[in-house]
């Protein structure tokens, strides 16, 4: 390959066509990229540098933390808090808003992130990732919770980095979806997957089957039809995948289609879902829709939801348009 296009070059060229856009956003993305390169290096090194295993602590969600959950959160915060591009941050690992230290200038953007998605995979050497979302903030004002709790449709950028056999960043700024592969030799993300789109048709689904007994009837119906294969009402065979890492699931769907489901279940009526709206569902919904897919709770479009808290959980059904619309139709028919 020749004439490599770097991520920075791509963003600058994309912004040239947009009126009133400054270079601040490009610099902010470079800050995120710097943090993700550091995380990629640590994930790749693993036990060689002593970063695997449990931290023997819990995060704000009540989930047991891995050492890398804490380390990657610190990397993201330290890479973003001093540059003057952000007014504030929020993380899966921290209860409230993360303020910018008073000695540093404040910018006009807010960042929300899951620093290590799929961290249960890290000790068995499976794919993990980082998810991030960027919002605009009122200039000159200390951000409040209200500034963060905005609909997903108001995001100016969303992306994720997949730490797999190669490190990849998938990004949207509302003008399609593009994928970049980290060239370890030169330390740059290079455009390798331009204009990614999700096929409308698929024969592949991803769901945690161990929760089947708790699903609502629309999800039970959909999965049963898939499992019936060519002998059933769908008249075709489906394959099932489950990686337990949202970044890996969504990347697979972006490259070959499919549907990913972490639906509402009946175990705890007070908890609407497993995945967090602000730094998991919203950024992934933005990416999926920009690639031609659909993202829903089963009852409403994810990007239209009015958030109620930084760590709000929601059901998520996303992926190939025709399959998501089918299962949404089952929910609506149920009433």
| 182 labelled binding-site residue | no
Contacts of 32 (CB under 8 A, 6+ apart): 76, 79, 80, 111, 132, 159
- Tell me the C-alpha distance between 52 and 66, whole Å: 7
Distances (CA, A) of 92 to 13, 96, 123, 305, 313: 32, 9, 20, 19, 11
Distances (CA, A) of 107 to 83, 84, 114: 9, 5, 21
| 120 labelled binding-site residue | yes
Beta bridge partners of 301: 296
| 274 labelled binding-site residue | yes
| 63 labelled binding-site residue | no
Contact predicate 263/291, CB 8 Å: no
| 203 labelled binding-site residue | no
| 116 labelled binding-site residue | yes
Sign of CA dihedral 211, 199, 290, 183: positive
Annotated binding residues, written as ranges, equal 92, 114, 116-120, 208, 274, 280
Annotated binding residues for Mg(2+), written as ranges, equal 92, 114, 116-117, 280
Annotated binding residues for substrate, written as ranges, equal 117-120, 208, 274
């Amino acid at each position: 390959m020749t004439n490599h296009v770097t991520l920075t070059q791509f963003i600058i060229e994309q912004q040239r066509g947009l009126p009133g856009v400054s270079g601040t956003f490009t610099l902010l993305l470079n800050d995120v990229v710097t943090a993700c390169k550091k995380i990629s290096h640590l994930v790749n090194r693993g036990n060689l540098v002593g970063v695997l295993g449990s931290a023997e602590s819990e995060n704000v969600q009540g989930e047991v933390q891995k050492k890398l959950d804490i380390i990657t959160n610190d990397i993201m915060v330290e890479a973003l808090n001093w540059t003057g591009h952000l007014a504030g941050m929020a993380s899966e690992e921290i209860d409230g808003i993360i303020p910018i230290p008073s000695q540093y200038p404040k910018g006009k953007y807010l960042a929300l992130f899951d620093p290590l998605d799929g961290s249960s995979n890290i000790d068995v050497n499976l794919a993990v990732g980082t998810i991030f979302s960027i919002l605009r903030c009122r200039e000159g004002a200390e951000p409040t919770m209200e500034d963060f709790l905005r609909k997903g449709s108001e995001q100016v950028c969303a992306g994720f980095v997949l730490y797999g056999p190669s490190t990849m960043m998938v990004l949207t700024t509302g003008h399609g979806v593009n994928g970049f592969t980290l060239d370890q030799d030169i330390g740059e993300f290079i455009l390798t997957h331009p204009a990614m789109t999700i096929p409308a048709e698929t024969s592949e689904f991803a769901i945690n089957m161990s929760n089947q007994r708790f699903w609502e009837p629309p999800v039970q119906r959909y999965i049963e039809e898939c499992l019936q294969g060519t002998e059933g009402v769908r008249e075709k065979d489906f394959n099932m995948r489950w990686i337990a890492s949202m970044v890996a699931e969504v990347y697979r769907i972006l490259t070959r289609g499919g549907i990913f489901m972490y639906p509402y279940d009946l175990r705890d009526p007070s908890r609407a879902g497993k995945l967090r709206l602000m730094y998991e569902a919203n950024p992934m919904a933005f990416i999926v829709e920009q690639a031609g897919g659909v993202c829903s709770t089963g009852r409403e479009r994810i990007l239209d939801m009015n958030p109620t808290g930084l760590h709000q959980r929601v059901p998520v059904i996303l992926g190939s348009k025709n399959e998501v619309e089918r299962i949404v139709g089952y929910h609506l028919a149920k009433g």
